[in-house]
Amino acid sequence: MQNSQTHHKPKIIDEGLPLFFKQEIEAELERQRLEVMDATIFYVVNMLTTFFKTENLTNEKGVNFTTQPMVLIMAEAMRSALTKRTQLLRSIGDNSLYLTGFFPESLKGKVMDVSYYMRMGESAYSHLHQTLEAQSNEDSREKIFKELSKKFEEMAKVLSSISDKSKSTHDRGLIHLYEKWLSTKDQRASEILKDKGIQTKNI
């Protein structure tokens, strides 16, 4: 996937990002009646905070996920030694969740679309869970990655709702959200538009 990644972020100070994400995630989980471990929420909060502060999709090894196909990075991960494999699998999962949750529109009409990143993210977290499970020492992250692999699509929807709410605070964001509703008839988008005084029922 190739784009400039000039994405809009919620207008909140960096110091408030973790609290903002925690509150928004917990609210959406409750609204969607989705049960997730506290440790998983903490992990996703930290992941989002890191992405929003660095404003890029490059991991600690310099792998840029906007220019290199995920499937090739996955292949490299599976033939790598333990430490590098773990790092790459985690990066694939995190980047896929971030992209499909916050910026699914940037993937529309592309060969590597939302469903592609969904599959890659689920697979990466699943392999990561299996990799950590196979080690003799207990790793507390094992259960987190297992849950993320099994609830990847649901968590992406949680992040998407948070993104929609953030964008709807601006006129341009409302137009973007309205266009999303027209193309997907997304119920959450409809609810946010209604809160802003924009009716979709008879359209």
Name all contacts of 15-24 with Cβ < 8 Å and 24+ positions apart: 17/48, 17/49, 17/52, 17/53, 18/45, 18/46, 18/49, 21/45, 21/48, 21/49, 21/162, 24/162, 24/165
- Convert the pLDDT of each residue in 175-200 to its tens digit: 566 666 666 777 777 777 676 655 66
Average pLDDT over residues 12-34: 80
Separation CA 111–CA 138 (nearest Å): 39
pLDDT tier at 10, thresholds 50, 70, 90: very low
- What's the pLDDT score for residue 178? 63
- What's the pLDDT score for residue 3? 43
- Convert the pLDDT of each residue in 43-65 to its tens digit: 999 998 888 776 555 555 545 66
Indicate if the pLDDT at residue 100 is higher than 50. yes
Indicate if the pLDDT at residue 83 is higher than 70. yes
Q: Residues of the chain with pLDDT > 90: what percent?
A: 42
Indicate if the pLDDT at residue 112 is higher than 70. yes
pLDDT tier at 39, thresholds 50, 70, 90: very high
List b or e across 128-151, with b for residues whose CB sees 16 or more CB atoms inside 10 angstroms. bbebbeeeeeeeebbebbbbbbeb
pTM of the model: 0.74
